[in-house]
Chain A
Amino acid sequence: MKGKKGIIKEETVKVLIAVVAIVILLYLAYSLYSIVQGSKEKEQAGEIAKQIADKVNNMKTGEEIMTITGPRNWNLLTEGKLLCVCKFEKESCKADTKICTNIRDDISLEITGGKISIYTKDITIKKENEKISISPRK
Chain B
Amino acid sequence: MKNMNRLGKKGDISAATLVSIILLVIGFGIVLMFIVRIYYSESVDTSACKESVTLRGLSSAGSPFGAAESLVNLRCKTQKICITSKMFGGDCTENFGNERVSNKKVKTENQVAKVIADEVLNCWDMTGQGRLSLFSPGWAANFGVTSKQASEETTGTVYSSCIICSRIAFGVNSLKSQGIDLGKVDVYEYMMKYKAPGEELSYAQLIAAASPAGVSLTDKDKMANLSSKFEEEMKRQGLIPEEIKELPTLKSSEMAVVFMQIRVPKYSTVLLNTFGTAMAANFASGGLAGKIASYTIQGISSIPVVGKLVVGLGMVAVAGVQGYNTYKNVQTAAGHCGDVKFNKEESYGCSAVRVIDYNADNLKVYCDTIESIS
Q: Could you list which residues of chain A lie within 8 angstroms of chain B, going by C-beta atoms?
A: 1-2, 10, 13-14, 17, 21, 24, 28, 31-32, 34-38, 40-41, 43-44, 47-48, 51, 54-55, 58, 64-65, 67-74, 119-122, 137
Of B218-226, B243-251, B262-270, B356-364, which binds chain A? B356-364
19 further contact pairs, Cβ within 8 A, besides A35-B38, A72-B146, A137-B360: A2-B6, A28-B32, A35-B39, A36-B73, A40-B73, A41-B143, A44-B373, A51-B374, A54-B98, A55-B97, A65-B359, A67-B360, A69-B360, A72-B143, A72-B144, A73-B144, A120-B363, A120-B370, A122-B359
B-side contacts of A137, CB under 8 Å: 360
Within 8 A of A (CB), among B12-35: 13, 17, 20-21, 24, 28, 31-32, 35
Max count, chain A CB within 10 A of own CB: residue among B72, B94, B367, B374: B374
B-side contacts of A119, CB under 8 Å: 144
By beta carbon, the residue of chain B nearest A54 is B97
- A136–B364 Cα distance when bound, in Å, is 15
B-side contacts of A58, CB under 8 Å: 97-98
B-side contacts of A51, CB under 8 Å: 97, 99, 374
Binary interface encoding of chain B residues 121-154 relative to chain A, with 1 for a CB under 8 A from any of its CBs, else 0: 0000000000000000000000111100000000
Asked if B164 is an interface residue, CB under 8 A from chain A, the answer is yes
B-side contacts of A41, CB under 8 Å: 143-144
> Are A120 and B364 closer than 8 Å at their CB atoms?
yes
> Are B370 and A37 closer than 8 Å at their CB atoms?
no
Shortest B10–chain A CB gap in Å is 8
Shortest A31–chain B CB gap in Å is 5
> With A21-B24, A73-B144 as given contacts, are A32 and B35 in contact (CB-CB < 8 Å)?
yes
The answer, among A13, A28, A65, A69, for a CB contact under 8 Å with B374, is A69
The answer, among A35, A47, A55, A72, for a CB contact under 8 Å with B72, is A35
B-side contacts of A28, CB under 8 Å: 28, 31-32, 35
A-side contacts of B38, CB under 8 Å: 35
> With A34-B39, A54-B97, A121-B360 as given contacts, are A1 and B6 in contact (CB-CB < 8 Å)?
yes
Shortest A65–chain B CB gap in Å is 8
Which bucket holds chain B's interface residue count? 35 or more
Asked if B71 is an interface residue, CB under 8 A from chain A, the answer is yes
> With A28-B28, A67-B358 as given contacts, are A43 and B98 in contact (CB-CB < 8 Å)?
no
> Are A40 and B371 closer than 8 Å at their CB atoms?
yes
Shortest A10–chain B CB gap in Å is 7
- A42–B177 Cα distance when bound, in Å, is 42
Within 8 A of A (CB), among B232-259: none
Binary interface encoding of chain B residues 52-65 relative to chain A, with 1 for a CB under 8 A from any of its CBs, else 0: 10000000000000
A-side contacts of B13, CB under 8 Å: 10
> With A38-B73, A48-B374, A120-B367 as given contacts, are A72 and B145 in contact (CB-CB < 8 Å)?
yes
> Are B143 and A67 closer than 8 Å at their CB atoms?
no
- A37–B68 Cα distance when bound, in Å, is 12
By beta carbon, the residue of chain B nearest A21 is B24
Shortest B353–chain A CB gap in Å is 17
Shortest A29–chain B CB gap in Å is 10
> Are A37 and B71 closer than 8 Å at their CB atoms?
yes
> Are A69 and B71 closer than 8 Å at their CB atoms?
no
